[in-house]
Amino acid sequence: MQSERMTPLEIRAGASLAAIFGLRMLGLFFILPVFAVHAPLYAGGDNLTLVGIALGAYGLTQAILQIPFGMASDRLGRKPVIYAGLLVFAAGSFLAAFATDIWTAIAGRALQGAGAISSVVVALAADLTSESHRSKVMAMIGSMIGASFALSLVAAPVLYRTIGMHGLFVIVGALALAAIAVVAFVVPDAPPQPRPAAGLAGLAEALSPELLRLNFGIFALHVVQMAIFVVVPPLLVASGLALSDHWTLYLPVVLVSFAVMVPPILYADRRDRAKPVLVGSVALLAAVMLALTLSGRSVTAMALMLFAFFVAFNVLEAILPSLVSRLAPARARGTAIGVYNTAQTLGLFFGGLCGGWIAGRQGATAVFAACTGVMVVWLALACRMRAPRRAPAVNPG
């Protein structure tokens, strides 16, 4: 018998795991709107390449550890691995809070990223939901990424003015510790899973051509995200919008973009039309990057381009993990999602590194031009993807 409604357990699992995932992403996103402006206050912080490394170091250690964390969760269970990752994440947050030089800030960011539980959280969400409702839960998690990004853009400049960079990192560390209690007492326990394949066989199962196509997509998305936020906050300041007033731009842009993103996500979910929505969103991002390359730098022009960017970014963050969870084999789900999140976090690292390097040598226009090229490559790959067919919905009860 088909069921169109999620069970209470699925709703609880989706909401609680989305909150945990959102917290992890806040650790990354909270510094994006303010770090490039704050960095000169660090010893050595006038080097834009090092600023880019600090932005992306989180992504590098995430990339190194996502697959090991995912594989460990397939064998040891999801929750114990999540506890360990949250503790490491909190330790990195507190180290970064007390940084006085750029290298300590980089070390703190790298330690934050070493708590690489993103793949484990997504795998647990997939374990706890039927396939007929999995896309909804993955959309909840993906939307939380967009919400975290939006919250950081609105709240970080205001909090930075009030409590400084030190306070931002302390808040993130404290929330990570509180999240351990949420995992223990709110998130349901996972049901027994199929025994994982031995050795590298499980990793091989996670490298199908369609999964690799999606992995490149999330890599490209986060390369562009990190690269442009090396240059966007300083450009807004140069255009006359003080850092403490950035929220007056971000808040209306983000709120409207969230309203606009809902119809395409519902269309993709209810009509099983994920591919055209994905392709359209990538095309929109390519157009935004080209417009930023060619257009002026007025606050109004930047606001319009950021609005379009947020719409596409939020839609893609909802659709991509849903597609990966549907394509990933059940017995290697943690591993497959670990590979996906490795691609995501490599994008975060290389986006910050390359964005800082290009900006320091060629300026903001060259950063936007490079991002345009990345989006065009992704668009070509996305047009050739084969979307999975949805299995019939069956009432798990």
Residue 293: predicted pLDDT: 92
CATH value at residue 319: 1.20.1250.20
Do the domain assignments include residue 134? yes
CB atoms within 10 A of CB 76: 11
Do the domain assignments include residue 199? no
Does residue 397 register a pLDDT over 50? Answer: no
Do the domain assignments include residue 236? yes
pLDDT digit string, tens, across residues 305-350: 999 998 998 888 878 877 877 776 666 666 777 788 788 878 877 8
Does residue 290 register a pLDDT over 90? Answer: yes
Bridge partners of 302? Answer: none
Which residues, including other chains, have CB under 8 Å from residue 180's CB and lie 6 or more apart? 83, 86, 87
Q: For residues 390-394, give the mean pLDDT.
A: 48
Do the domain assignments include residue 195? no
Residue pair 285/310 in contact (Cβ under 8 Å)? The answer is no
Residue 240: predicted pLDDT: 87
Q: For residues 278-298, give the mean pLDDT.
A: 91
Q: What phi and psi values does residue 329 have, to the nearest 5 degrees? A: -70, 140
- Could you give the CA distance from residue 341 to residue 182 in angstroms, rounded to a whole number? 22
Residue 309: predicted pLDDT: 93
What's the chain's Rg over C-alpha atoms? 20
Do the domain assignments include residue 235? yes
pLDDT digit string, tens, across residues 211-251: 888 899 999 999 998 899 888 888 888 888 887 788 788 87
- Could you give the CA distance from residue 342 to residue 331 in angstroms, rounded to a whole number? 19
Q: For residue 255, what pLDDT band results from cuts at 50, 70 and 90?
A: confident
Do the domain assignments include residue 101? yes
Domain carrying residue 169: 8-189+204-382
Do the domain assignments include residue 196? no
Residue 394: predicted pLDDT: 41
Does residue 395 register a pLDDT over 60? Answer: no
Q: What are the residue ranges of helices labelled H in 194-298?
A: 201-205, 209-238, 247-270, 274-294
- Could you give the CA distance from residue 304 to residue 322 in angstroms, rounded to a whole number? 28
pTM, 2 dp: 0.71
Share of the chain above pLDDT 70, in %: 86
The total number of structural domains that make up the chain: 1
Identify the three-state secondary structure at position 28: helix
Do the domain assignments include residue 394? no
Residue 280: predicted pLDDT: 93
- Could you give the CA distance from residue 304 to residue 83 in angstroms, rounded to a whole number? 41
